[in-house]
Structure 1
Amino acid sequence: MTVNGIDVSSFQNTNFSTSGLEFVFVKATEGTTFVNSRMTAQAAHARSAGVVVGFYHFMRPGDMAAQARHFVEKCASQEGDPLFADWEVDGISGAEKDAFLAEVKRLRGDTHRVGLYCNRDFWTHRDTTSNAGDALWIANFTTAGKPGITFDWKFHQFSEHPVDQSIGRFADLAELRHWADRSAVPA
């Protein structure tokens, strides 16, 4: 019982294949200055295929509140699109990760799920709070659906070839849509 998805960034084109996908997560921003110039077109392409669209922000060391504001102000999200913090570089503590999640949740939490993307090492060796917001999206390049953690995860990135591939722990697209719709499901 899983759904399939990919994530794309400015490294991918805007007409990627959506065949067999139920979700696409698009890199929106990084730090306090970078905006993915292909984000809007990538999201539109995914929406036209009828999949759930989400967005992520690549965190850099620095002011987490400023990065959260940059993300929500520049992100091409629509109500109900999941939003993720991408935590994968040194120099960002677990407390700073939590501050970013809290600020995005404060700014957009009533209309969006707010979750965390990180690799297995960050989750098992660097995280100290087990705070993933509304969803943990864990990266571990292993068998799909077996990310090697005991925490309740929602998404598992299991491969990066030919693009970043993930699965979600949902029965089907309808269940994923229901989860993403903040008005339909209690936090």
Structure 2
Amino acid sequence: MTVKGIDVASYQSSTFSTSGLGFVMVKATEGTGYLNPKHAAQVAHARDAGLTVGHYHFARPGSMSAQVTYFLKHAGLKTSDILALDWEDTGVSGADKDAFIKALQKESPAHRVLLYCNVDFWLHRDTTSFCGDGLWIADPESDAGHPRVEHAWTLHQYSVSGGVDRNVANFASSDALTAWAAKGSSGAVPKYEPFPGASWFTVGRKSPVVAAMHARLVAVGCNRYKSTANKDVIGSGDIASYEAWQRKYSDAHDKDWSGAALKWPPGKETWNALHVPNV
């Protein structure tokens, strides 16, 4: 069995369809001077859909260490994110490829690192078979999940459909992919949703995390919702219910909070205490 996914860059929309997908690989950077202008929006869209997220860097000739630094500066990593080197430029040697991957693994040991390349690069330019934590092979001439390489593969980019590159991951389920990607968590998915930052809590945001928060606020006796419709979209009911939770938490822990401390958006302390289950 395999898991479906796509990869996107600035050529694709920031609101691509996530139906039926388990992961999205997003172009982040190229060389030491290019940042995909849609990277942040495309990553946020994938996260909102609960997908495993990957970030990839298109290598150009030059300092590999400088490119690793630039990549990590702009990737915006979170736990369970995947990193990948896009090796397509003929001016980047096999030795450069190996140096980039090794430097990336050293600088970001908590994340899985993949090598992306096509069949020609893998069979005729590579000399070491070194691909970090896994090979992301591009082979549109073969059926999904059957790339024409003998080496074990992790992702297979097999076609372009609707202007988007289609991929499959060599895992039995999306949960298995996420567990593998969570290298920094010993393969375990966090029990509770980590605090996404105050700026994440914008009215109208749609996410399974919002629905999980809704359920927890009801469970802790802070139900100020007037409807259960669209419970995965942040609205006035979420604001009123969460502010009720902040008042309850403050009273229970003798915080004596007042003013902005009791108002929306959520803070890290009360969010962690709410124990919103990982979704």
Amino acid of the structure 2 residue aligned with 1:58 = F
Give the Å deviation of 1:135.
Answer: 1.0
Task: Determine which structure has greater relative contact order: mean sequence separation of CA pairs < 8 Å that are 6+ residues apart, divided by chain length.
Answer: 1
Confirm or deny: 8 A CA contact 1:28 1:76 kept in the other structure.
no
| Cα separation, 2, equivalents of 1:160 and 1:153 | 19
* Structure (1/2) with the larger strand percentage: 1
Taking structure 1 as the reference length, the TM-score comes to 0.96
Taking structure 2 as the reference length, the TM-score comes to 0.65
Instruction: Show structure 2 runs of 5+ residues with no match.
Output: 188-279
Matched, 1:172 2:173: yes
Secondary structure class of the residue paired with 2:161: coil
- 4+ runs deviating over 4 angstroms: none
Alpha-carbon displacement from aligned partner over 1:127-177 (angstroms, at most 9, x marks no partner): 001000001000000210111000000100001222100000100011001
Aligned residue in 2 for 1:119: 118
Give the Å deviation of 1:70.
Answer: 0.4
Aligned residue in 2 for 1:107: 107
Secondary structure class of the residue paired with 2:45: helix
Identity of aligned residues (%): 52
* Structure (1/2) with the larger helix percentage: 2
Confirm or deny: 8 A CA contact 1:144 1:167 kept in the other structure.
yes
Give the Å deviation of 1:32.
Answer: 0.4
> What is the CA RMSD across the aligned residues, in angstroms?
1.1
From the CA coordinates, give the structure whose radius of gyration is larger: 2
Q: How does 1:45-64 map to 2 (within 5 A)?
A: 45-64=45-64
Instruction: Show structure 1 runs of 5+ residues with no match.
Output: none
Aligned residue in 1 for 2:149: 149
* Number of equivalent positions: 185
Alpha-carbon displacement from aligned partner over 1:86-135 (angstroms, at most 9, x marks no partner): 001111111100000011111102x1001100001100100001000001
Confirm or deny: 8 A CA contact 1:115 1:133 kept in the other structure.
yes
Aligned residue in 2 for 1:128: 127
| Cα separation, 2, equivalents of 1:181 and 1:6 | 19
